[in-house]
Structure formats: structure tokens, C-alpha cells
Amino acid sequence: MTINVYQKGDLVRISGTFRDLAGAPIDPGTVALKVAKPSGATTYTFALGTVIKDSVGNYHVDVSITEAGQWSYRWESTGAGQAAEQGQFTVEPSGFA
């Protein structure tokens, strides 16, 4: 797995794709993205309008990077298209305030 490296202040797009068992794109019953900052966690949920649907089965959230350190995220869905996928990225500290 490749871990991407970003800078504090970046806007990072986290994308998720959901497919049925045959591999075709599908919209799950619910879609949620959990993002864990180095200091805590925030959850974005499609029902609340914070997860953007790009097309059938394709979603994203743009996350403002406010802290240096290791960030983790996890896509979760329920119903038709039930799935989970997670990843990480690193934010480098800045020499500027």
C-alpha cells in the first residue's frame, strides 16, 4: 500500500467506490466515511450531505488538513453494496506557524 504524503493546509480528496458482486457500480443503502485525525475522529455521512455522490457507486469527501501526523480513513456502506475499505495518509509538519 502506498501512503500519500501531504502538507498541513492541504485539501485532500478521499474517494470511495462501491460495486456489486459482479463488479458493477452500485449505490449502497447508506454510505459513511470515518476520518481519524491524529488528535481524534470526525465522521462524514452521506445522509448529512457531507459525502458527495459523483456518479453511481462513486463518492468523495474533501478534507481540510489541519494537523501534522498520521491520518486514517474508512469507508463503510450497508444494504445492497455492503462494503468497507480503509486507508491512511501522512501529513508532514511545517516549519512555519
CB atoms under 10 Å from CB of 24, counted, come to: 10
Which pTM was predicted? 0.88
- What is residue 2's predicted lDDT score, i.e. its pLDDT? 64
Count of residues making up the chain: 97
CATH superfamily, domain at 9-90: Immunoglobulins (2.60.40.10)
* Closest C-alpha to 69, from 16, 1, 2, 5: 5
Q: Is pLDDT above 80 for 64?
A: yes
Q: What percent of the chain has pLDDT over 70?
A: 97
- What is residue 34's predicted lDDT score, i.e. its pLDDT? 94
Q: Would you call 45 exposed, middle or buried from its count of C-beta atoms within 10 A (0-12, 13-18, 19+)? A: middle
Across 50-88, b (16+ Cβ under 10 Å) vs e yields ebeeeeebebebebebeeeeebebbbbbeeebebeeeee
Q: Is pLDDT above 80 for 43?
A: yes
If pLDDT is split at 50, 70 and 90, which confidence band does 46 have?
Answer: confident
Average pLDDT estimate for 47-73: 93
Question: What would the pLDDT profile of 4-15 be if each residue is shown by its tens digit?
Answer: 999 999 999 999
